[in-house]
Structures are given as structure tokens and as C-alpha cells.
Copies of this chain bind each other. A is one copy, B any other.
Amino acid sequence: MASSTTTARASARDRLLEAANELFYAEGVQTVGIDRIIERAGVAKASLYNVFGSKEELVAAYLESRHQGTATRLSAAMEKIQDPREKIFAIFDEQAKQFRDPNFHGCAFVSASAEAPVGGLVEQATTEFRAWIRNTFAELAKELGAAHPSTLARQLHLVYDGALLAADLDRNEPSVARSAREAVEALLNASSV
């Protein structure tokens, strides 16, 4: 598929992924059926099953695209920063920006994992994503010269996940981002930096 589409319209695959991203993320993987995806994408059901072989593979592709999106967003946020400490804060600032998005609805991987079968593609995509973000924190912790980089990374990950969860489930409370930032400060200071 060398993308020879000269048409103005996006490819069926891209339109399906966009529809999946909107609907799956907003309402959940289980509750959104195939019919609603193809209706929003403007694509025939046969085409969906031709491109992706099953709903599960569409879900996996949706999660991989979110993984990719988060990776590029965080890279962009850290791009012009040298200090690893400031890079870490940039990650949480970027997260705080997400919270203000009216379409924000928590972590897509957490939601998708809630009712996914063990050993399936969703679990696999989630494991990869979480390993990647933990590794991102671990490298920054190492650059920082933390006493125990992997422990600090795990702690930053705890705050990162907890903040995502709270921002989604405790909508009334707008101070989540600030509390998370102050928690990060405390953790960085405590890790003998």
C-alpha cells in the first residue's frame, strides 16, 4: 500500500482510525459498536474488515496511534529544553494542558484495559505504552543523577497516572495539575538531587 491515493479524501484506514479515536476514547471500546465507527468514518463495513481483520485489531491500531501521538507531544514539549529537571516539569505541564481539553477523558489505555481479555492485543499495547513512558522517566531520572533512578521513575509514573485518573474522575476539582506539580517537586527534591 504505497499510498497512491490522489483523492482529496483521506484513506479509508485514516478515516476509520480517526472515527475510532473519537468514539472509542469518548465512550469506551466495549460500548461503541462497529456500526457507529463505519457510519462516522463514512466507510463500508466490508472495507473495515478488509483493512483491519477484526474489531480487536482496530482497537489495537487506535491505541498505537494514541501511543504515537503522546510520544510526539511529549517530544515536542521537551524539545527546546536541556535541563532534565525542567524536562520532567514540561511533561507534567503538557499533561495539565490535556486536562483543559474538553474532550479529555482519562487515559485511553487504562479505559481500554478495564475490560480487555488477558493476553489480547489491548493488554499488549498497554504494556508497551507503559514501558515506554516509564523508560522516558527513567532516562530523565538518570540524567538528573538521582540516587535510585528507577525508583524515582516509578514514583513519577505514579503521580502521572494518579493525576490522569483524578482529572478524569474528579471533574469538579481543578487543582489536580498544581498538586501533581508540587508532588513532583517534592519527589525530585527527596531523591537527593
Contacts and interface: CB of A to CB of B under 8 A. Distances in A.
B154 A114 contact: no
B166 A179 contact: no
A126 interface: yes
B179 A190 contact: no
Is chain A's interface secondary structure helix, strand, loop, or mixed overall? helix
A169 interface: yes
Contacts of A151: 175, 178-179, 182
Interface of A: 27-31, 106, 109-115, 117, 126-127, 130, 134, 151, 154-155, 157-163, 165-166, 169-170, 173, 175-176, 178-180, 182-183, 185-187, 189-191
- Which 4 pairs, one residue from A and one from B, show the smallest C-beta to C-beta distance? A158-B162, A28-B115, A114-B114, A186-B190
